[in-house]
Amino acid sequence: LCIIAAGNDSRAPVSFPATVDRALAVSALGRKGTFPTSSAEMDNVAAPYGTDRKNFVAEFSNVGPEIDLIGPGVGIISTVPENTYAEISGTSMACPAVTGMAARALDPSVLAMKRDTARSEAMAKAILGSARSLGFDPPFEGHGLPDPK
């Protein structure tokens, strides 16, 4: 099972390789109030907004029927070269967050399965089943945000 960034082409269709079978495509979520209003991240604020009007699908995020999940991808603090940190945005930032949340949703019995297609399918079912909608249409959030419980 691969959890893959959908792409950052400003609402273009989901990019390869996120379109392949057994891949889970991830779009990027932002939340107003988590970065300064003077920040360049304000350029990423765009409709549609979720049920909680502070949540938005990032302007740069690719979208479409292939989207399976959404994760935080705007104004993410990450490490960068030379032992420092920076604020980064992208579906590639949303992917590791979703992967971590998804891992928490997995039952130990799924992890103990033989590493084959059946295990990948069981993992996908558990991850998608844990997701909760944030109030966006499916082409923007798929099943929603995984719930790490």
Segment 54-82, tens digit of pLDDT = 999 999 999 999 999 999 999 999 999 99
Average pLDDT over residues 104-121: 91
Average pLDDT, the chain: 93
Segment 7-30, tens digit of pLDDT = 999 999 999 999 998 899 999 999
CA distance 22 to 140: 19
For the whole model, what pTM was predicted? 0.91
The sign of the CA dihedral 130, 69, 1, 90 is negative
Say what the pLDDT of residue 78 is: 92
Say what the pLDDT of residue 35 is: 79
Domain boundaries, the chain: 2-105
Predicted confidence band of residue 46 (pLDDT cuts 50, 70, 90):
confident
- CATH superfamily label, 2-105: Peptidase S8/S53 domain (3.40.50.200)
Q: What Rg do the C-alpha atoms of the chain give, in angstroms?
A: 15
Predicted confidence band of residue 41 (pLDDT cuts 50, 70, 90):
confident
